[in-house]
Amino acid sequence: MNQSSALPPPPPLDRLAERGPLALFLDFDGTLVELADTPDAIHVPPTLCARLKALADRLDGRLALVSGRALDDIESHLPDIAVARAGSHGAARKHADGRWLGEEPEGLPEAAVQAMRRLAEREGLLYEAKSHGGALHYRAAPESGAMVLSFARDLAKEHDLDVRSGKAVVELVRPGADKGGAVRAFLETPAFAGAQPWFVGDDVTDDDGFSACAEMGGGGVLVGDRQGSSAHFALANVARTIEWLGL
């Protein structure tokens, strides 16, 4: 595994595109917008939707957002979004025109949701309800991280769920929800077929996207400083990412 401090910056998009048609898969939090103390506290520039559509047009439509957020959450922050997108760590997917790609996934069992809510209330954590998952945020209580992860793993076993962990957050999702799966699903559609795929993201869950893209002739671009990433290149922060994308 690479260490991000040793990764070079990516070449310009135009140079990457010399190898063939380019497809970009972009994480949202920590990649296109700065992380915040709570999921609702992020600042989204009002022009971001238009700028993403312009980038998609440059790529002949081969652009997708792939986020841990639920799709309805993404769409609440980007109400005019007109690019392909996947939410809930890739489990829920839509074409650029809003049509579903595949079936809408199930939500969590109610018993699992209530168990997470009780833990959050008892331990002073933030529970985030999602359409197809549920997340426990412990940014305000970082010492709780190991306990939250252990709790989530036990609950996942009980209800046949998967655990996704990120920056001060642990989430439960239905099995098979990962960003690599979203990449593969989009690349099977006519809009993305045959493209050279590159995934840009900052968190541990983005490594699934990096790996899927590498398998298909592209790779990953890590945003920020994180050891153990499988990315090929790195960008220092959100501002450098926005600059590199030409947004």
Q: What are phi and psi of 99, to 5 degrees?
A: -70, 145
Does the active-site annotation cover 27? yes
Closest CA to 223 of 244, 195, 208: 244
Cα 195 to chain center, whole Å?
20
Find the catalytic residue in 27, 178, 202, 203: 27
Residue 145 structure tokens: 């991280």
Phi-psi group of 168: left, alpha or beta (phi > 0 → left; psi -120 to 50 → alpha; rest → beta): left
Phi–psi pair at 246, nearest 5 degrees? 75, 30
> How far apart, in whole angstroms, are the C-alpha atoms of residue 129 and residue 170?
12
Longest dimension (CA), the chain: 55
DSSP characters over 39-108: GGG----TTHHHHHHHHHHHTTT-EEEE-SS-HHHHHHHSTT--SEEEETTTTEEE-TTS-BSSPPPP--
Active site residues: 27
